[in-house]
Structure 1
């Protein structure tokens, strides 16, 4: 009878010889056409990790009219999370399969949104560090600098029907690419939170508005978005951010600690 070597030994030998496990598959298969499709279909990026589709969409593949959801599913960037019936039709909730793909997709989205390939690591660190330290002034400054550095042509060349979605997508992808635990369009009994971020001892509830100064924080408080987190034992921060569509940057930033 031939001896079999446990697979774990090969893994241990791999690391013992100084090897590194990294997503090399992504580097060799990074689809540039996915970027083009994102531009064409003006996808609200946080929704990528919570798509709902039926068999007709998932099985479709028309080279002249490629559906983004179908493409992501057929190429393995999305997988099934849940199957349920809606209006007497079977539908599927999709998700990103693992952390590796999630991080890589968000890195790709950052390139699509901002064209700041060389500066993105510095911006990511600043934003994450400010949240970890509950330094909201630094968080605001980091966001303002981030948006100030986005080339004008990124706005001029894109017909952004929902400005709010664009700004939210930029913030979401920068933080999501770090693996920060967050939920976009977080559902409560009184509405949807644009973005909720949960760190070890802190929760941030963020609402984005465009050309509505003072409205973002007021909406969080009026609708009691923070109430679902009151029993968490964590410090809760309510953050309202307003962007000016002409200035393409933050003109009102207000926050409160609960």
Structure 2
């Protein structure tokens, strides 16, 4: 049996359908969306299929029925009615100035005038051209207009490290997007996608009637591939693959529907003869996140057990960037579970989605912050697997001896336990190990817990400690090991002392329980 082609990088729905590419049917979800809403916003990380879904909507509204043969929506939609569609996309190119933004709007609205056979009185770079285009399209086609906006926030994200320019571009976008609300009587539907989530006090201040479906359970699978998709649609492409390993590497994104795979990973994994690699991570470099980690002297073990409230639902503030929210929105963290606290506030526990992101992100941090190629992490893994604590100590000593602190730190962070815990955390995470930072017990918080298949390691750190603050003794006094006694594995208690002057280990004690 001849297999269909893989649509790697293809975001055009008609090309996928006409040229016999694999297509995971999202049209049932699209139909439900169109039946229930008029103004919709969707946030998803990059390369998750937002652009393809948007183009699918365009073809539905333009009544291209032949493309939907055999799909869920085929017999549910009225194909006798065609709507004029205005397409706005910032996916291509990079906006480097406010003039670039105006030039981009000019390009967008000239293109739409040509598509719809309409000539605007106002210049294409003028927001009034957008408004005029909507009204004239409504009059010409005698149907309400559809507006589809792809990567609405990319001009801001392109300049997020330049706060004044990002603010100027944000204000320019607000000016244009406000046209959508002002054109309500002429519109059938508007759909906006991006990476960051909106807040009604910033970029979407004029669109207070828009519905954010990013974490609505019925639309949790709107982009990406579910486990069922992988095991059915892609079954012929994955013969002989260890599905548990595939799931560990690439599954895990949670938008309150099924756990999802990023399509870019699955398609490339198949195309590269089932080779495990960091396909999605390598498609975009998170340099901005590294700058934030440096600037905030961020305590990296927090990322192993992070709890946030509903601020997750809001866009980050350009003037006060929130690292945790950006990590979530950009796909480096995802939702582990959802609970309600004693005040009935919704609390999200954020986790790293899968092995690809865990290993790749932490290797990138090691390379960027500590100027190391991360090969020094390998002896750590070997020592832990072999339960060789002397080798573990030597590996840690080697790591700290190699870090050029002054190249990246301009404060006294190296005087605090958090710095040393962060270094150890990222090296262990880069190996894909199961790490718990600030591990909660009924007696307090363990600095770091490492859960291996054959052993558990409980680590406590002290910097410039006195005799009264012994790290190993604290683990014993607070009985941290009791939390794991039912695991029926060896438990190692490790107290590590650091000297801020020497910037390395000054003491290493351990006991086995």
TM-score (normalizing by structure 2):
0.46
- The corresponding residue for 1:104 is 360
Question: Which shifted more, 56-65 or 233-242?
Answer: 56-65
Q: Which of 304, 318, 323 is the aligned partner of 1:49?
A: 304
- The corresponding residue for 2:389 is 136
Q: Which of 196, 199, 205 is the aligned partner of 2:452?
A: 199
Q: Which of 417, 437, 441 is the aligned partner of 1:188?
A: 441
- The corresponding residue for 2:479 is 224
Contact 1:201 1:235 in 2 (8 A): yes
Task: Report Cα offsets for 1:143-196 as digits up to 9, x if no partner.
Answer: 111101111414653441862111011111111111112211111111111111
Partner of 1:204, secondary structure, is strand
Q: Which of 246, 253, 258 is the aligned partner of 2:508?
A: 253
User: Deviation at 1:140?
Assistant: 0.9
Contact 2:460 2:475 in 1 (8 A): yes
- The corresponding residue for 1:76 is 331
For the pair 1:8 / 2:235, whether they are aligned, the reply is yes
Partner of 2:238, secondary structure, is helix
Structure 1, unpaired ranges of 5+: none
Equivalent-residue separation in structure 2 for 1:158 and 1:241 (angstroms): 23
- The corresponding residue for 1:114 is 370
Partner of 2:275, secondary structure, is coil
Change (3 A) 1:112 1:157: farther
Quote the RMSD (CA, aligned, Å).
2.5
Equivalent-residue separation in structure 1 for 2:450 and 2:465 (angstroms): 23
Equivalent-residue separation in structure 2 for 1:106 and 1:136 (angstroms): 23
TM-score (normalizing by structure 1):
0.88
User: Deviation at 1:201?
Assistant: 2.2
* Bigger relative contact order (CA 8 A; separation at least 6): 1
Contact 1:58 1:74 in 2 (8 A): no
User: Deviation at 1:204?
Assistant: 1.2
- The corresponding residue for 1:40 is 295
User: Deviation at 1:25?
Assistant: 2.2
Partner of 1:60, secondary structure, is coil
For the pair 1:240 / 2:495, whether they are aligned, the reply is yes
Equivalent-residue separation in structure 2 for 1:175 and 1:30 (angstroms): 21
Equivalent-residue separation in structure 1 for 2:403 and 2:447 (angstroms): 22
Question: Which shifted more, 153-162 or 96-105?
Answer: 153-162
Equivalent-residue separation in structure 2 for 1:112 and 1:177 (angstroms): 13
Partner of 1:116, secondary structure, is coil
Q: Which of 400, 408, 419 is the aligned partner of 1:166?
A: 419
User: Deviation at 1:21?
Assistant: 3.9
Contact 1:57 1:67 in 2 (8 A): no
Between Structure 1 and Structure 2, whose CA radius of gyration is higher? Answer: 2
User: Deviation at 1:249?
Assistant: 0.6
User: Deviation at 1:234?
Assistant: 1.3
